[in-house]
Amino acid sequence: MVNIAVFGASGMIGSRIVDEALSRGHAVTALARDRSRLPHTEGERLTAATADVLDPGDVTAAARGQDVLVSAVGGGDGDGHRKLVEPSARTITEALRHLEEPPRFIMVGGAGSLETALGKQVWDAPGLPEDVLAIMHAHGDALEFLRGVTDVTWTNLSPPAVIEPGERTGTYRTDTHRLVADAQGNSRISAEDYAVALVDEIESPRHLGERFTVGE
C-alpha cells in the first residue's frame, strides 16, 4: 500500500486519480480548497481535507508522512492557470525541500510543449485561442521549472491533445517528448486511462526527473 496525497482531488483528473488509487488498495488523502466539492466519502483508506496548494504550510502538512504527492490542480481559464500552475510547482517543491523524508512529487502537466509529427510543438499550431495558449504555456512554465529541480524527485505527466471522461480500458501508449497520436493524427485519452497511467507510475516508477506523456 502506498500513501498518496492528491491536490486538486475535486477536479476531472484528480478525482479519477483518487478513484484509481483506491481501487488498487492504496491510502489516499484527497485535498481541495473547498472540501464540500470533493466527490468522495471518507473511509478506511480515504481521508478528505481542505488545503490550498499555494500555502506552504498546507503543502507541508499534506506531504508529511506520504509516499507520493500528486498535483492535479488547474485554474479554469487561462489567467487562472497562470496564477496557479507554475506557482504551485514552486510552492510544492520548496515545501518538500524542508521535509526530512519528502515524498515523490507527480504533477499533472499539459500537452502544449509536446512535439508534433511536423516537428513543432503543439502550441505552435495556428489559430489557437489566447485562453488555450495561456493554459498551455502555464503548464510549459511549470515543466521548465521542474527541469531545473535536482533535490526533489519529480515526474510530470502530460496528457494528449484531448482528455475527457470516458471508458477505463487500462491500456495506453507512452512517449517522453512527442504527442501520442494514432495513424489519423487523433491524440486523445480518457481521464480514467490517464489516471491508470499515473498510478502505474506511482507503483512502478519509470520517469523520475522527467516528463512523459500518454495516449490511446
Q: Which residues pair with 107 in a beta bridge?
A: 71, 156
Which range marks the domain in which residue 158 is found? 3-215
At 13, which helix (H) or strand (E)?
A: helix 12-23
| Ramachandran region, residue 186 (left: φ > 0; alpha: ψ -120 to 50; beta: rest) | beta
Query: Per-residue pLDDT tens for 43-74?
Result: 889 999 999 999 999 999 999 999 999 999 98
- Assign residue 126 the CATH number of its domain: 3.40.50.720
pTM: 0.95
| CA–CA gap between residue 2 and residue 206 (Å, rounded) | 16
Average pLDDT over residues 78-82: 84
Query: Per-residue pLDDT tens for 109-141?
Result: 999 999 998 889 999 999 999 999 999 999 999
CB 46 within 8 A of CB 19: no
In this model, does residue 31 exceed pLDDT 90? yes
- Specify the pLDDT at position 30: 96
> Which residues, in sequence order, are CB contacts of 15 under 8 Å at separation 6+?
9, 38, 39, 40
- The three cell numbers of residue 146 are 521542474
Least confident of 58-62, 77-81, 102-106, 167-171: 77-81
| CA–CA gap between residue 131 and residue 155 (Å, rounded) | 26
At 6, which helix (H) or strand (E)?
A: strand 3-7
pLDDT confidence tier of residue 80, bands split at 50, 70 and 90? confident
Q: How many domains does the chain have?
A: 1
φ/ψ of residue 213, rounded to 5: -140, 165
